[in-house]
Amino acid sequence: MGLQPEGSRGDVFRLLVVDDIPETAANVQKLLQIQRKYRVVGTATSGREALQKAEQLRPDVILLDINLQDMDGLQVAERIMRQWPTCIVMMSVQAEPEYFSQAMAIGARGYLVKPFTSERLVRTLDMATDNFLPPPVTVAGPAVRAGLRKIVAVYSPKGGAGTSVLAANLAIAIQQATQKSVVLVDANLQNGDTHVLLNINTNASIDDLREAGALDQEIINSTVIRHADSEIGLLRAPLAPESAEMFTSDTMRAILVELRDHFDYVVVDTGSSFSEATLTVLEEADIILGITTLEVTSIHRIANFFQIAERVGIEHSKIRLLCNRVEQYYGIKPNQVESQLRRRFLAQIPEDERLVVASTNRGVPFIVSQRGAPISRSIQELAKRVHEVLTTPPGGESQKRGGWGLFNS
């Protein structure tokens, strides 16, 4: 899967950590987990690798150790700054004034004595980046792209509503409609089976990202698996269901933020419980597709979800209602559900049990095998609407779709 680094977004500084002790990068990642201003996007364990990574990733800030095995860290810093105006913070176990003076003399904007605390790290980075504006991304070629960085959460508070099938087909439809980079994340941590729907046999999973600590392009490349029948990537759920208990809010947020740095769209298939990890996905999402079917129990659960979302601080404005398995013989009509919930459906997906079951058993999403089927066309339309919601300035939705967003309540 072709992962491309992105330029800075102004409020977030992208960090490259250079130290010949690999644990240093993991430590920095942990120290920075509770804030969003700085994000580790790469690591290097030698001077030569640092030069390569700096050219490849174009980070805003480089934490660079003075004592590298193959090159002097100060020389590495000088070479990087001659090629790219990066904010460099030197670090070392030496606290003698002459080391600090040498670092400042070459143009470093900060100096950290190891070991350091989270407070000391952030304070030094804040001082170093104060009044520092990362240069605009102007490098030609595929090394840099301007990404959308959008997270789409597909969620139903009731199991069995077809969340995984919708998420998988929607991810492919978004890629087909936009030609943007898309990754499908299976965050149903205990019961995820999206890899089965896509017929992808892999032992790489989201658990690998949790265990890695320091996340960079290399670890993302090794865990996100390309789907052969489409251009999307897949990050499967943990192999061991008990791993779900290890995913804290900070862990899940760090994974989502890093994936968002590498893909235009991150489509997340969630579990139905209100676990810490699931709530974090919903909080981080730019749009939440709340799924209901025309069953009374499903409608009851989605109504409760809106109340719970309000209590935990999830913005109602980013929730869009989706009706799955629409068929007249259920006895309840979609417009009746809209009236009860006082919200319109962003899309209504027709029932096609035979096609869905067949595509699931074959491991070939129907959006690939049967693009002309009514259910596929409804997913294609949904993909276009999701893209419009995420790219339309606030207030512009009602004019474009005649008010298919949320009702005023």
Looking at per-residue pLDDT, the higher value among 408 and 173 belongs to 173
Domain CATH code at residue 306: 3.40.50.300
- Assigned domain for 19 exists: yes
Does the pLDDT of residue 15 top 70, yes or no? yes
Residue 87 included in any domain: yes
* Burial of residue 144 (number of CB atoms within 10 Å: 0-12, 13-18, 19+): middle
Q: Both tokens of residue 7?
A: 């330029």
Q: Which residues of 2-13 are buried (b: 16+ CB within 10 A; e: fewer)?
A: ebbbbbbeeebb
Flag whether 409 is in a domain. no
pLDDT range class, residue 40, cuts 50, 70, 90: confident
The pLDDT of residue 144: 36
What is the pLDDT at residue 213? Answer: 66
Among 278, 259, 264, 284, smallest CA distance to 386 is for 264
Query: Tens digits of per-residue pLDDT, 345-361?
Result: 999 999 999 999 999 99
**Region 162-172: what's the mean pLDDT?**
98
pLDDT computed for residue 73 by the predictor:
93
Same domain, 276 and 370: yes
Strand ranges inside 54-113, DSSP E:
61-65, 87-92, 110-113
Average of pLDDT values for 19-27? 86
Say if residues 310 and 342 touch (Cβ distance below 8 Å): no
Separation CA 139–CA 136 (nearest Å) = 9
At 223, which helix (H) or strand (E)?
A: helix 217-223
What pLDDT is recorded for position 396? 56
> In sequence order, what DSSP letters do the residues of 339-379 get, joined into one string?
HHHT--EEEEEEP-HHHHHHHHHHT--HHHH-TTSHHHHHH
Residue pLDDT, tens place only, 222-260: 999 999 899 899 999 999 999 999 999 888 998 998 898
Q: What is the pLDDT of residues 101-121, one digit of tens each?
A: 888 888 899 999 999 998 899
Rounded distance between C-alpha atoms, residue 230 and residue 305, angstroms = 33
- Domain for residue 249, yes or no? yes
Counting residues of the chain whose pLDDT is more than 70, the rounded percentage is 89
Query: What is the extent of the structural domain holding 163?
Result: 150-401
Where is pLDDT greater, at 230 or 218? 230
Determine the pLDDT at residue 185.
98
Q: Cα 64 vs. chain centroid, distance in angstroms? A: 27
CA distance 90 to 74: 8
Tell me the three state secondary structure of residue 210: helix
Averaged pLDDT of the chain? 87
Please report, for residues 126, 270, 277, 325, the alpha-carbon distance to residue 235 in angstroms, rounded to integers and kept in the order given.
33, 13, 15, 26
Residue 186: in which H helix or E strand, if any?
Answer: strand 182-187
- The structure tokens 């009702």 sit at 407
* Greater model confidence, 298 or 14: 298
Residue 53 shares a structural domain with residue 124: yes
Q: For residue 359, is it within any domain?
A: yes
263 and 355 belong to one structural domain: yes
In the prediction, which pLDDT does 148 show? 63
CB 250 within 8 A of CB 277: no
- Residues 6 or more apart from 115 whose CB is under 8 A from it? none
pLDDT bin (cut points 50, 70, 90) of residue 138 is very low
Of 94, 129, 164, the residue that ends a domain is 129
Nearest in space to 376 (alpha carbons), one of 385, 365, 388, 364: 365
pLDDT band at 9 (very low <50, low <70, confident <90, very high): very low
Q: Which of 75, 95, 129 is the last residue of a domain?
A: 129
pLDDT band at 370 (very low <50, low <70, confident <90, very high): very high
Domain C-terminal end among 61, 96, 129: 129
Residue 127 or 290, more confident? 290
In a domain, 144, yes or no: no
The model carries a pTM of: 0.68
Say if residue 325's pLDDT is above 80.
Answer: yes
Domain assignment present for 240:
yes
Among 11-15, 170-174, 189-193, 382-386, the least confident range: 11-15
| CA dihedral of 290, 294, 296, 301, whole degrees rounded to 10 | -10
* Least confidently predicted of 22-31, 71-80, 148-157, 319-328: 22-31
The domain total for the chain is: 2
Both 28 and 160 in a single domain? no
d(CA 49, CA 80): 12
Mean pLDDT value of segment 121-143: 66
d(CA 64, CA 107): 13
Cα→Cα distances 230→37, 162, 186, 194, 338, Å:
34, 21, 17, 15, 34
pLDDT value for 11: 63
Confidence label for 397 from pLDDT (cuts 50, 70 and 90): low
Q: How sure is the predictor about 401, in pLDDT bands with cuts at 50, 70 and 90?
A: very low
Task: Give the residue from 63, 61, 66, 43 showing the smallest Cα distance to 53.
Answer: 43
What is the maximal distance between C-alpha atoms in the chain?
Answer: 81
Greater model confidence, 7 or 12: 12
Q: Which residues are registered as beta bridge partners of 76? A: none
- pLDDT score of 139 more than 60: no
Cα gap 87→85, rounded to integer Å? 7
Going through 213-370 in order, the beta strands assigned E by DSSP cover 225-226, 233-235, 265-270, 287-292, 319-326, 345-350
Strand, coil or helix: 153: strand
Look up the CATH number of the domain holding residue 44.
3.40.50.2300
Which of 136-150, 191-205, 336-350 has the weakest average pLDDT? 136-150
DSSP secondary-structure letter at 207?
A: H
- Taking a C-beta distance cutoff of 8 angstroms, is the pair 108, 89 a contact? yes
